[in-house]
Amino acid sequence: MALKATGIIVEYNPFHNGHLYHAAQAKKRTEADIVIAVMSGNFLQRGEPAFIHKWARAEMALHNGVDLVFELPYAFATAHAPTFAEGAIRILDAARCSTFCFGSEDGDIAPFQRSLHLLQQSGGQYEQAVKDAVGRGLSYPKALNEAYLAVATTVPVDEPLADLSKPNNILGFHYMEAAQAIGSTMQAITIPRIIAQYHDDAIPGNQIASATGIRKAFFQSDGLQAVNAFIPETTRDILLDWQADQRQFGSWSTLYPYLRYTILREGPDQLKMIADITEGIENLFIRAATTHSTFEHFMEEVKSKRYTWTRIQRMLTHIFTGFTYSMRQLMPAPSYLRLLGMTAAGQRYLNETKKRMKLPLISKAAASTDPSLQMDIHASNMYALGIGNNQIGSDYDRHPIIIR
Amino acid sequence: MALKATGIIVEYNPFHNGHLYHAAQAKKRTEADIVIAVMSGNFLQRGEPAFIHKWARAEMALHNGVDLVFELPYAFATAHAPTFAEGAIRILDAARCSTFCFGSEDGDIAPFQRSLHLLQQSGGQYEQAVKDAVGRGLSYPKALNEAYLAVATTVPVDEPLADLSKPNNILGFHYMEAAQAIGSTMQAITIPRIIAQYHDDAIPGNQIASATGIRKAFFQSDGLQAVNAFIPETTRDILLDWQADQRQFGSWSTLYPYLRYTILREGPDQLKMIADITEGIENLFIRAATTHSTFEHFMEEVKSKRYTWTRIQRMLTHIFTGFTYSMRQLMPAPSYLRLLGMTAAGQRYLNETKKRMKLPLISKAAASTDPSLQMDIHASNMYALGIGNNQIGSDYDRHPIIIR
């Protein structure tokens, strides 16, 4: 019988005990033989540079229950939730996963299915309500939730819907929506999130903390000492190696001098061509960059009710990497499966499934001229320069990590 | 009787004893009441960031025999010799100098006048010979000199011509050419350069050394100690203050991380729009930036017989500041006199002459929206970010320096 794979959608920034639990649960509940993770590269969905680069994060995963890691291309990894979700689901579907598995607040799939059905039945009413709310000046996530609640009241439902005010539930919902949209046969499974909420700080003694909390504790107190309890030993070793080699961890504070220089070098006409830049916000960026020498103060000036922090950070990510609207048009859907690493079991699955995969498998970037792949390599170079790593270009001819 | 001014064209990178001598001689030989210097801003004619910014350099000059310092706008300060010369001469002419004064190898004006006359008589033969030589792959200065020598042999001359293989003579020649082209009534005077040649190193015990030699000695040995003998006391004090405040001096090594990041962020299509970029050199830049983490190694890869080092550096300056071909088209000639500083005598001259000046006098940049002035401010901001000075934007509302 063919090996069975379950797919998960991850960032691992960095990999921690909660991720370990999630990968193990995904495998167990779906009775899969292997776990495939589709993972963001060096820039993440919330519009931030990764704490450490994708190769180190893939290695952490392969030591801790994940068998294959594919890179979610830049254009999707740094997009808003619906596009992020569609990119990730297309990759898991192309890799022939039987199931995909996401964390949610309650761990019950039925409310998601009902919500999905409800919105599909709403006949445009939902989309119109979103549009109206955005028109009234609401941020996109707030508008979505308001429209969703409005639609929910118009249809008699005696069973609970998914709570789409929670970040993880929203992503899960978009995964299901995307799977249905592309006609995937993958079955959706959800696992309850345990203990830590997304933004929770790392609490000593509590063995599971969010990645955000771990990074915060790391930067604010005495580094790895403060987060040891929340991460697997291999994560710790990889972070120690990174610290010794690179000296700097990725953050907007680290990259800000380059971002600031670029905002001021470009000027409004060129900034307008950058993906996601809308409605004169380029002038606000230029004003704030002229005044402020820290990222923190810059963000204080540019944040507003109209734009979520995340949305602004995504614009800044695209400014930093030079990703334009016209470049994005060249990559409407994932066009390859870029393998970052594999275990022995992952390799067996690849050998068995390779020919049936729906997208070409890329083990070495140098072999392809796909514009999306070029952008992934480019983003890696920009990340390396931003954190002061002079050894750029290595992404181009690097082989996948193999963990046996 | 009206005050009489002589004009000099300078960079003062930094101001040294040779400059002191030149300013004093200019005043003496022309019997002028005041000396007006038109000075490059933060980027120089050889395509380099200035060692220290223009305000500090203007201050050095005002303490040492110069009475008014006007900024040569970026578009001219960073241009090849003929354009640089025309911009500078237009400013001195607009400021109503009676004479202008330049250093040359021999200090005799007659050979320059003969050379100028000769080339004007050549009836296009000279221009054609330059074009042919460039077509054969010679660098522009080499082509000029070859064409000049060829024309020189076709006309019987029993008196010596200027030696246009020497950098200072070439500049002087272009100054005279420009003055004639704009119909200026300023009289040209030349002063012999003494002791140090342009590229000479600073030799301890020798009281005059070139600015290049002084910078080199400064960077290679124990800083100011090594160059004390070659600079006025006020120059030393200003350099000491700069060192204490800024910690970094301007050089391509300092700015290279930003230059490299920008070359790689932009890509070939955007680099092609940058002023002076020609014939696919953008691809060479991208290749070299990908590989090399120091400016020295970068230049080793990109230098060639076809392009002088200086010409390549000018391209890099424009990449660094984001100065495009289309921006340059907006500033065909100097359109203002930007005052960086004055002595009491300079101020008297200004009061007396202001109304007769041929271009508007600008004492505070905030008062104008001239695109060339915007570029000067922009270049100052880029320079500040490049050397790690977070206090940008100060160029915008700074008042001229007044030395009494």
DSSP secondary structure string for all residues of B264-297: HHH-HHHHTTBTT--TTHHHHHHHHHHH-SSHHH
Give the model's pLDDT for residue B156: 63
Positive/negative CA dihedral, A104, A109, A110, A113: positive
Tens digit of each residue's pLDDT (9 = 90 or more) over B211-241 = 888 888 777 766 777 788 889 999 999 999 9
pLDDT score, position A61? 98
Q: Cβ distance B339 to B349 under 8 Å?
A: no
* Burial of B205 (C-beta count, 10 Å sphere; 0-12/13-18/19+): exposed
Instruction: Give A17's contacts (C-beta < 8 A, 6+ positions apart).
Output: A207, A208, A209, A230, A231, A232
* Residue of B318, B307, B300 lying closest to B74 (CA atoms): B318
The sign one gets for the Cα dihedral B184, B186, B189, B195 is: negative
Tell me how close the Cα of A264 comes to any Cα of chain B, in angstroms.
8
**Cα A359 from Cα A335, distance rounded (Å):** 6
B374-392 mean pLDDT = 90
- Which amino acid belongs to residue A362? I
- A252-266 and A309-321 helices cross at what angle (nearest 10)? 70
Helix segments in A155-225, DSSP class H: 167-181, 211-220
- Rounded to whole angstroms, the Cα distance separating A388 from A382 reads 10
Choice among A166-175, A218-227, B97-106 with the minimum mean pLDDT:
A218-227
Helix orientation angle between A371-386 and B252-266, rounded to the nearest 10 degrees: 160
Contact A42, A53 (CB under 8 A): yes
Residue B73 has a pLDDT of 98
Residue B50 has pLDDT above 90, yes or no: yes
Q: What are the CA-CA distances from residue A24 to residues A28, A227, A376 (Å)?
A: 6, 21, 29
In a mutagenesis test of the A interface, which of B385, B387, B394 is the best target, namely the one with the most A β-carbons within 10 Å?
Answer: B385
Backbone angle region of A141, left / alpha / beta, with phi > 0 → left and psi within -120 to 50 → alpha: alpha
Per-residue pLDDT averaged across B164-191, rounded?
Answer: 94
Minimal CA–CA distance to B340: which of B91, B30, B4?
B91
Model pLDDT, residue A84: 97
CA distance to A113, A188, A193, B8, per residue, from A172 (Å): 11, 9, 12, 71
Cβ count near A156 (within 10 Å): 5
**Residue B114 reports pLDDT greater than 60:** yes
Confidence of residue A248 (pLDDT cuts 50, 70, 90): confident
A365/B309 Cα distance (integer angstroms): 35
- Which one of B258, B265, B392 has the shortest CB-CB distance to A382? B265
> Which residues of B fall within a CB distance of 8 Å from A382?
261, 264-265
Strand A361-362 versus strand B99-104 pairing type: unpaired
Dist. CA B188–CA B9, nearest whole Å: 12
Reduce the DSSP state of residue A265 to 3 states and report it: helix
Question: Where do the DSSP E strands lie in A128-212?
Answer: 187-192
Say whether A183 counts as a known binding-site residue: no
Name the residue of chain B whose CA is nearest to A267's CA.
B322
Q: What confidence score (pLDDT) does residue B198 get? A: 46
Average pLDDT, integer, range B176-193? 95
Judge whether B297 is annotated as a binding position: no
**B173 in a labelled binding site:** no
Say which residue the tokens 């000199």 belong to.
B145
CB neighbours of B138 closer than 8 A, spacing ≥ 6? B146
Residues paired with residue B38 on neighbouring β-strands, in sequence order: B9, B70
Arithmetic mean of pLDDT, A33-38: 98
Token output for B103: 């250093």
Indicate the pLDDT class of residue A352, thresholds 50, 70 and 90.
very high
Confidence band for B20, pLDDT divided at 50, 70 and 90: very high
Q: What SS3 state is found at A138? A: coil
pLDDT-derived band at A251, boundaries 50, 70, 90: very high
Q: What pLDDT does A196 receive?
A: 56
A18-27, A124-133, A371-380: segment of lowest average pLDDT: A124-133
Q: Which residue in the set A290, A378, A385 is minimally distant from B260, CB to CB?
A: A385
Q: What is the per-residue pLDDT across A306-337, written as a single tens digit (0 to 9) for each?
A: 788 999 999 999 999 999 999 999 999 999 99
Mean pLDDT, chain A, integer: 90
Please state, as a whole number, how many other Cβ atoms lie within 10 Å of the Cβ of residue A133.
Answer: 19
For residues A174-201, average pLDDT: 84
Nearest to B381 among A264, A322, A390 (CB): A264
Helix (H/G/I), strand (E/B), else coil: A101? strand
Give the pLDDT of residue B248: 87
Mean pLDDT computed over A185-197:
84
Per-residue buried b or exposed e for A194-233, using 16+ beta carbons within 10 Å of the residue's own CB:
eebeeebebeeeeebbbbbbbbbbbeeeeeeebbebbbbe
User: Is residue A332 classed exposed, middle or buried when 0-12, 13-18 and 19+ CB atoms within 10 A define those classes?
Assistant: exposed
Say yes or no to pLDDT of A66 above 50: yes
The one-letter amino acid code at B368 reads S
- Please give the residue that has the higher pLDDT: either A194 or B94: B94
* pLDDT given for residue B28 in this prediction: 96
Q: What is the number of other CB atoms lying within 10 angstroms of the CB of residue B145?
A: 19
Read off the pLDDT band of B164 (50, 70, 90). confident
What does the pLDDT read at residue B92? Answer: 98
Strands, DSSP E only, in A127-169? none
A252-285 per-position pLDDT tens digit: 999 999 999 999 999 899 999 999 998 889 999 9
Mean pLDDT of A105-123: 89
Residue B32 has what pLDDT?
98
Quote the Cα angle for A247-A253-A257, to 5°.
Answer: 95
Are B290 and A388 an interchain contact pair (Cβ–Cβ within 8 Å)?
no
The residue among A43, A248, A254, A261 with the most chain B CBs within 10 A of its CB, best to mutate, is: A261
Report pLDDT for A164.
87
Chain B residue whose CA is closest to A266 = B322
- Answer yes or no: is pLDDT of A199 > 60: no
Q: What is the pLDDT of residue B289?
A: 95
Cα distance between the two ends of chain B: 23
Residue type, A378: H
Question: Is residue A383 a contact partner of residue A77, using CB atoms and an 8 Å limit?
Answer: no
Give the pLDDT confidence of B368-381 residue by residue, as tens digits.
Answer: 889 999 999 999 99
Q: Where are the alpha helices (DSSP H) in B81-220?
A: 81-94, 110-121, 125-135, 140-154, 167-181, 211-220
Q: Which of B261, B270, B391 sits opposite A385 (nearest CB)?
A: B261
HSE on the CB side for B353, CA within 13 Å? 26
Q: Which residues of B touch A381 (CB under 8 A)?
A: 264, 290
The two three-digit tokens of residue B124, written as one number:
């296009």
Residue B25 pLDDT exceeds 50: yes
Give the domain ranges of chain A.
Answer: 5-105+191-249+332-403, 252-329
Amino acid found at B218:
F
Question: Which pLDDT score is estimated for A137?
Answer: 83
Minimal C-alpha gap between B294 and chain A (Å): 9
Give the architecture-level CATH label for domain A5-105+191-249+332-403. Answer: 3-Layer(aba) Sandwich (3.40)
Measured distance between the N- and C-terminal CA atoms of chain A, rounded to whole angstroms: 23
pLDDT at A177 over 90: yes
Band (pLDDT 50/70/90 cuts) for residue A222 is low
How is residue A346 written in tokens? 């992952």
Three-state DSSP class for residue B255: helix
Tens of pLDDT, residues B238-289: 999 998 888 789 999 999 999 999 999 998 999 999 999 987 899 999 999 9
B215 in Cβ contact with B51 (< 8 Å): yes
Q: Mutation test of the interface with chain B: which of A258, A321, A385, A390, choosing the one with the most B Cβ atoms within 10 A?
A: A385
